[in-house]
């Protein structure tokens, strides 16, 4: 399998201005250090609301997302790593061809896949999916664990039916592999849901 090209070698879709903005943000988060640790994300009030906050922060340190050959979690990331993770949320460009679009989509789905597959074994098992559902519902004290479980089970069954079709009585669905994952999202346009678009700024003459 040929190694995926580094995101910064794509046609320049991030302007130097945007990189400067991100750099300033990085310095703010890292409190002027060269690297960021997990604790630095605690200073973002908006993020506290997010039920899957843990998974999002985790994604920044996941070595699979950082395109490193080794596996596991990094302790700290530098600005280049930060940009690498940000690049997963680049919006699509008008001038992309079919092959680029496909690669783009695959990248984003892979990022999402890694979020679910917490033990890094390449499969999303029922337990892993249950974990995600529980996190999403973690804020509400009125929902019991049972409800979270039944949601997860229902979703896994649907996934199984899409990927494997009718299963025999003694067939066991081990878990969703990345290929299955891609199949589930066929025909659904996720690229426009998973991007963050920068506004363009330029000097405007003030008239007094």
Partner 1 sequence: VGAVWLALVLALIVLPSALGVSLGISEAYMWVLVKTLEWATIRIEKGVKKSQPQMLKSPAANGIIERDETPMEKEIARLHRVDFEFSDIFYFCRKGFEAIVEDEVTQRFSSEELVSWNLLTRTNVNFHYISLRLTVVWVIGVIVRYCFLLPLRFTLAAIGITSMIVGTTMVGQLPNSSVKNYLSEVVHLTCSRTLVRALSGTIHYHNKENKPQKGGICVANHTSPIDAIILTNDGCYAMVGQVHGGLMGVIQRATVKACPHVWFERSEIKDRHLVTKRLREHVADKSKLPILIFPEGTCINNTSVMMFKKGSFEIGGTIYPVAIKYDPQFGDAFWNSSKYNIVSYLLRIMTSWAIVCNVWYMPPMVRKEGEDAVQFANRVKSAIARQGGLTELPWDGGLKRAKVKDTFKEEQQKNYSKMLVRNGSIG
Selected from 140, 157, 161, 171, the binder of partner 1 by CB under 8 A is 140
CB 23 to partner 1: min, Å: 11
Residue 167 lies near partner 1 (rule: CB under 8 A): no
Residue 5 lies near partner 1 (rule: CB under 8 A): no
Residue 150 lies near partner 1 (rule: CB under 8 A): yes
Note the helical H segments in 11-165: 16-30, 45-48, 53-61, 79-86, 98-116, 126-136, 145-164
Site string for partner 1, 65-84 (x = CB under 8 A): --------------------
The answer to whether the beta carbons of residues 109 and 185 sit under 8 Å apart is yes
Residue 51 lies near partner 1 (rule: CB under 8 A): yes
Residue 14 lies near partner 1 (rule: CB under 8 A): no
Residue 115 lies near partner 1 (rule: CB under 8 A): yes
Residue 178 lies near partner 1 (rule: CB under 8 A): no
CB 7 to partner 1: min, Å: 15
Provide the token pair at 62.
């996941």
Q: What residues contact 23, with CB distance under 8 A and at least 6 apart?
A: 79
User: Rounded to 5 degrees, what are φ and ψ at 124?
Assistant: -95, 110
For residue 108, give the 3-state DSSP assignment: helix
The residues that bridge with 124 in the sheet, in sequence order, are: 176
For residue 162, give the 3-state DSSP assignment: helix
What is the DSSP secondary-structure string of 169-188?
TT-----EEHHHHHHHTTT-
How far is residue 100 CA from its own chain's centroid? 19
Residue 98 lies near partner 1 (rule: CB under 8 A): no
Residue 19 lies near partner 1 (rule: CB under 8 A): no
State which residue, 9 or 16, has the beta carbon closest to partner 1.
Answer: 16
Which positions touch partner 1 (CB under 8 A)? 17-18, 20-22, 25, 28-29, 41-53, 56, 86, 89, 112, 115-116, 132-133, 136-140, 142-143, 147, 150-151, 154-155, 158, 184, 190, 193-208
């Amino acid at each position: 399998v040929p190694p995926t090209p580094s995101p910064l070698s794509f046609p320049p879709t991030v302007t130097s201005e945007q990189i400067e903005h991100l750099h300033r943000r990085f310095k703010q988060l890292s409190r002027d250090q060269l690297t960021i640790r997990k604790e630095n994300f605690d200073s973002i009030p908006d993020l506290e609301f997010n039920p899957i906050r843990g998974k999002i922060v985790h994604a920044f340190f996941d070595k699979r997302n950082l395109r490193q050959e080794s596996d596991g979690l990094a302790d700290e990331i530098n600005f280049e790593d930060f940009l690498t993770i940000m690049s997963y949320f680049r919006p699509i460009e008008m001038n992309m061809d079919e092959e680029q679009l496909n690669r783009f989509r695959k990248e984003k789905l892979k990022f999402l896949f890694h979020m679910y597959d917490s033990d890094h074994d390449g499969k999303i098992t029922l337990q892993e999916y249950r974990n995600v559902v529980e996190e999403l519902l973690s804020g509400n004290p009125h929902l019991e664990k049972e409800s979270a479980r039944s949601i997860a089970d229902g979703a896994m069954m649907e996934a199984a039916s899409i990927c494997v079709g009718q299963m025999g009585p003694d067939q066991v669905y081990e878990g969703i592999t990345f290929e299955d994952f891609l199949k589930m999202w066929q025909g659904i346009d996720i690229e426009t849901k998973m991007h963050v678009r920068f506004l363009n700024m330029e000097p405007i003459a003030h008239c007094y």
